[in-house]
Amino acid sequence: MSNTVEFAKMNGLGNKILVVDMRGRSDKVTPQAAIALNADAETQFDQIMAIHDPKAQGTDAYIDILNSDGSKAQACGNGTRCVVQALAAETGKKAFTFQTVAGILNAFEHDDGTISVDMGLPVFDWNRIPLAEEFHDTSRIELQIGPIDNPVLHSPSAMSMGNPHAIFWVDRDPMSFDLERFGPLLENHPIFPEKANITLAQVISDSALRTRTWERGAGLTLACGSAACASAVSAARTGRTGRKVTIDVASSPIRQPLRIDWRGDDHVVMTGPAEWEWSGTLDPSTGTWSRDAERGAEAR
């Protein structure tokens, strides 16, 4: 078995993604390789999307997802769009079915280049999100940051989109909050036994939100697709918006909104862009890599 595999540096609305081709192999991208890749400024990422041979009949691939700290992620909507773009360019296909730890995902590339991903069903049960204590209504749980009589953030909506999310509702631009300071405290709060993605969401209208996310296992991120889905669902669930919204991801340098549709069958469909940046090869056990244009030069 070769020591190296092909990979692409991509982004989904600024969400930094490495798509790694592990098809035809029995090994995996190791946590050590992920940490080493993230430590290099050129390959720094939010998620690795490792494409493996399909395990379930009727699927195109099994996707193994790693965070930048080497931990496993259950879902990554922006990364899934990157996988679709890469495989569509390779195969000419438009529709794909993927298996992940979080379940089966269906995705489709449109003629305009945007990609829709069916992120599945939202989960609201406290023990399935999961939360460490019982809440009858997870649309508003007891959690706050700041003075008890004047908290900076409080009463988030909690849910799972394959991974746990807490959505804090704010009345001003999410970029004006010190999420870099609050994010680690909230991600690791004891109420979240599997940690959580922390999102600040501002309601712009009954069909638009503005968000910013501290991502579990990755930290401050330019974009998080599953958090956009969780924000949209939570906004509709609490009567703040309808079930179709656009999401302005405040931290993204790409000024193109995500479109989220919480359909009548309760599936959440996210539509947005993906962008290829460059490609290369890497060693999935160590993270040593080289860029395509640099092959033959000393590996990093």
Distance of alpha carbon 276 from alpha carbon 250, whole angstroms: 21
**Residues 6 or more apart whose Cβ sits within 8 Å of residue 263:** 243, 269
Classified as helix, coil or strand, 11 is strand
pLDDT one digit per residue (tens) for the chain, 300 residues: 689 999 999 999 999 999 999 999 999 999 999 999 999 999 999 999 999 999 999 999 999 999 999 999 888 899 999 999 999 999 999 999 999 988 899 999 999 999 999 999 999 999 999 999 999 999 999 999 989 899 999 999 999 998 999 999 999 999 999 999 999 999 999 999 999 999 999 999 999 999 999 999 889 999 999 999 999 999 999 999 999 999 999 999 888 999 999 999 999 999 999 999 999 999 999 999 999 975 444 444
Q: Which has the closest alpha carbon to 73: 247, 234, 172, 221? A: 221
Distance of alpha carbon 203 from alpha carbon 170, whole angstroms: 8
Active-site annotation holds for 76: yes
**pTM (2 decimals)?**
0.91
* 76, 166, 170, 198: the active-site residue: 76
* 224, 227, 235, 274: the active-site residue: 224
Phi-psi region of 24 (alpha: psi -120 to 50; beta: other; left: phi over 0): left
Classified as helix, coil or strand, 183 is helix
Q: Residue 163 belongs to what H/E stretch?
A: none
Distance of alpha carbon 245 from alpha carbon 208, whole angstroms: 5
- The string of DSSP letters for 220-273 reads E-S--HHHHHHHHHHHHHTTSS-SEEEEEETT-SS---EEEEE-TTS-EEEEE-
Active-site annotation holds for 82: no
Distance of alpha carbon 246 from alpha carbon 272, whole angstroms: 10
